[in-house]
């Protein structure tokens, strides 16, 4: 019968289904959906005259990866349109690259780029470096992003375009960095960076066309890496419009879950209730504006993360009792989560410190007592969790959004360690303990935050090793007792992430009824030495049963 004939049958190699411990010899696909998974003989029975056959020739097949925390528009724009900087670049190297880039631009065009490593960003924050940046940028306004994506470095032309001078007061939630004498350094902390982004955007020609170009570049790179689903971590209306145009052109080769900012964050534009009201117009089968983004604190390198114990004193003017202050009160966050429940939306809560993580869990505990609809709740970036709060993730059905890849030695982790108390750093990213309680861990890159190059296979490898890639020749391990198995690490980027995103009825595993989103790899990542996983090449990527890479 025609309904028993598959469009595609895949056999000839090991198939990891992403259900922990589950393997198969092949699977069959019809109309973009998996219809059978199991022994080779079973799935081959679905073959008919028009069935395509994919012989794995011994290679591993597995589900497409899910990046549970990514900034597609920003990452794609950096990839396609902006000055590329490495977090290891010194200030002098940054100046050379800025001057070279400036020479390519039309008069008045902004220099926009990143990423600056935390150490470089700090070194640029002085009136003298501001003067040197002014010279290197050849009269162009300049905006550079740091590796946390919470801060910016601009030059004098950009400050002028923003309408900022030495007498401009700091706005709520942001800081214009100044030296000890009160002189502007060009550093923009937290929400003042959004003002620079807004000024740069106003100067752009065809911002919608730029964004479409950027998103296409992001998707192309993601297909090469094997990612077929994403949760965009802060999605504005203009990005939803660009995604819709790409989908209408038939070029959207991924499932997209959008996170709608509850308050101003990173980019200018409608947020909160105005954005919640506009977003449903962009909903489609593949575009799902299903989450609200809450930001409870900042990042450790600017000492805006909310901690239970005081920061380390790094300078003579540091407050020995400083712990950081959450941006939301408990009552405000409870109200926000209840609004999510009313709208049928989930919550992605940025909380990088153990104090802000506790605040998020406290709010979730209150809302979980409510009758009726319950929102999916994720806590994003929970690097630091008080030991007594670890069991609460599973108890409250709160998912850990593990991102970015900071569970191995890196310049960003070293920058954090300069500020965070030693005893707090020693329990960073407690994956093993979370899993032991039954909690769900979803993997995410936070691309382009802190990443010179996106590589989800590095994320999987370092969950297992807690070590830097061999090429870095760094013998350190970060909290190695919290290393987890390969299957659990893969699940964090497939089946577990699908559940955290609310799309486990669509994708995330190779199982009948789910979308045929799968990869063919150049190596079996479950058999090669763990230190080789980051070198994995995706030979083929399929989305809904069609090859897209």
Over 306-374, what HEC string results?
Answer: CCCCCCCCCCCCCCCCCCCCCCCCHHHHHHHHHHHHHHCCEEEEECCCHHHHHHHHHHHHHHHCCCCCC
Name the one residue in this structure whose structure tokens are 């008080």: 386
pLDDT more than 70, % of the chain: 98
Per the rule left: phi > 0, alpha: psi between -120 and 50, beta: everything else, 65 is: beta
Mean of the pLDDT values across residues 188-215? 90
pLDDT, residue 455, reads 95
Burial 350-382 (b: 16+ CB within 10 A, else e): bbbbbbbbbbbbbbbebbeeeeeeebbbbbbbb
Give the list of residues 6+ apart from residue 11 with CB closer than 8 angstroms, or none: 25, 26, 40, 43, 44, 53, 54, 55, 56
Length of the chain: 549
Name the one residue in this structure whose structure tokens are 């490495």: 86
Tens digits of per-residue pLDDT, 211-235? 999 999 999 999 999 999 999 999 9
Q: Is the pLDDT of residue 465 over 70?
A: yes
Give the list of residues 6+ apart from residue 474 with CB closer than 8 angstroms, or none: 409, 467, 468
User: Alpha-carbon dihedral of residues 485, 518, 525, 505, nearest 10 degrees?
Assistant: 0
Take residue 13 and report the two structure tokens written for it.
């190699």
Give the list of residues 6+ apart from residue 540 with CB closer than 8 angstroms, or none: 519, 520, 547, 549
Closest to 286 (Cα-Cα) out of 344, 347, 345, 243: 243
Alpha carbons 63 and 283: distance in angstroms, whole number: 25
pLDDT, residue 2, reads 61
DSSP 383: -
SS3 213: helix
Burial class (CB in 10 A: 0-12, 13-18, 19+), 433: middle
pTM above 0.85, yes or no: yes
pLDDT, residue 119, reads 80
Name the one residue in this structure whose structure tokens are 């789910």: 514
Distances (CA, A) of 520 to 325, 471, 538, 548: 46, 25, 6, 12
Domain with CATH 3.10.310.70 in the chain: 89-202
**What is the third-level CATH fold of 206-541?**
TIM Barrel (3.20.20)
pLDDT, residue 202, reads 85
Q: Is the pLDDT of residue 351 over 80?
A: yes
Tens digits of per-residue pLDDT, 31-84? 999 999 999 999 999 999 999 999 999 999 999 999 999 999 988 988 898 998
- 418: confidence class by pLDDT, cuts 50, 70, 90: very high
Tens digits of per-residue pLDDT, 291-338? 999 999 999 988 999 999 999 987 766 888 999 999 999 999 999 999
Q: Is the pLDDT of residue 3 over 90?
A: no
Q: Is the pLDDT of residue 149 over 80?
A: no
Strands 23-30 and 8-16: antiparallel
pLDDT, residue 315, reads 73
CATH 2.130.10.10 corresponds to the domain 89-202: no
Average pLDDT of the chain is 94
N- to C-terminal Cα distance for the chain?
32
Secondary structure (DSSP) of 481-492: GG---HHHHHHH
Mean of the pLDDT values across residues 271-300? 97
pLDDT, residue 452, reads 64
Domain with CATH 3.20.20.140 in the chain: 206-541
pLDDT, residue 334, reads 98
pLDDT, residue 148, reads 78
Three-state SS annotation for 66-113: EEEEECHHHHHHHHHHCEECCCCCCHHHHHHHHHHHHCCCCCCCCEEE
């Amino acid at each position: 019968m025609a309904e028993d004939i598959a469009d595609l049958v895949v056999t000839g190699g090991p198939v990891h289904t992403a259900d922990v411990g589950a393997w198969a010899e092949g699977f069959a696909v019809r109309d973009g959906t998996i219809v059978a998974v199991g022994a080779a003989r079973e799935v081959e029975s679905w073959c008919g005259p028009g069935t395509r056959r994919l012989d794995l020739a011994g290679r591993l097949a597995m589900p497409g990866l899910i990046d549970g925390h990514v900034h597609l528009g920003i990452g794609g724009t950096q990839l396609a349109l902006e000055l590329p900087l490495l977090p290891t670049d010194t200030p002098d190297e940054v100046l050379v690259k800025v001057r070279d880039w400036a020479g390519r631009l039309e008069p008045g065009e902004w220099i926009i780029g990143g990423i600056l490593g935390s150490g470089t960003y700090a070194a640029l924050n002085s009136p003298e470096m501001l003067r040197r940046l002014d010279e290197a940028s050849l009269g162009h306004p300049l905006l550079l992003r740091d590796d946390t994506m919470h801060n910016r470095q601009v030059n004098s032309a950009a400050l002028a375009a923003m309408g900022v001078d030495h007498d401009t007061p700091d706005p709520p939630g942001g800081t214009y960095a100044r030296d000890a004498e009160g002189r502007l350094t060009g550093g923009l902390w937290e929400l003042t960076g959004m003002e620079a982004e807004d000024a740069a955007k106003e100067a752009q020609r065809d911002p919608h066309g730029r964004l479409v170009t950027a998103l296409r570049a992001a998707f192309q790179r993601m297909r090469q890496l094997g990612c077929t689903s994403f949760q965009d971590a802060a999605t504005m209306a203009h990005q939803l419009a660009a995604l819709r145009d790409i989908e209408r052109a038939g070029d959207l080769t991924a499932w997209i879950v959008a996170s709608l900012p509850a308050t101003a964050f990173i980019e200018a534009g409608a947020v909160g209730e105005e954005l919640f009201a506009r977003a449903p117009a962009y909903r489609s089968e593949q575009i799902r504006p299903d989450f609200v983004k809450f930001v409870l604190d900042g990042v450790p390198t600017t000492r805006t993360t909310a901690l239970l114990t005081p920061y380390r004193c790094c300078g003579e003017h540091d407050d020995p009792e400083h712990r950081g202050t959450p941006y939301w009160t408990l009552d405000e966050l409870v109200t926000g989560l209840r609004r999510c429940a009313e709208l049928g939306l989930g919550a992605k809560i940025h909380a990088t410190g153990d104090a802000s993580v506790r605040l998020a869990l406290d709010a979730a505990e209150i809302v979980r007592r409510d009758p009726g609809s319950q929102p999916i709740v994720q806590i994003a970036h929970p690097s630091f969790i008080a030991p007594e709060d670890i069991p609460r993730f599973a108890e409250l059905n709160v998912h850990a959004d593990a991102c970015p890849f900071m569970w191995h030695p890196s310049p960003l982790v070293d920058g954090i360690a300069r500020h965070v108390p030693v005893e707090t750093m020693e329990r960073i990213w407690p994956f093993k303990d979370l899993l032991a309680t039954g909690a769900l861990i979803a993997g995410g890159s936070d691309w382009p935050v802190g990443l010179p190059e996106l590589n989800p296979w590095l994320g999987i490898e370092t969950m297992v090793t807690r070590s830097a890639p061999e090429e870095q020749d760094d013998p350190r391990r970060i909290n190695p007792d919290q290393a987890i198995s390969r299957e659990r690490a893969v699940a964090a980027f497939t089946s577990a992430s699908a559940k955290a995103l609310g799309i486990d009825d669509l994708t995330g595993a190779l199982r009948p009824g789910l979308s045929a989103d799968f990869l063919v790899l150049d190596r079996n990542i479950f058999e090669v030495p763990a230190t080789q996983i980051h070198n994995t090449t995706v030979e083929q990527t399929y989305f809904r049963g069609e090859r897209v890479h």
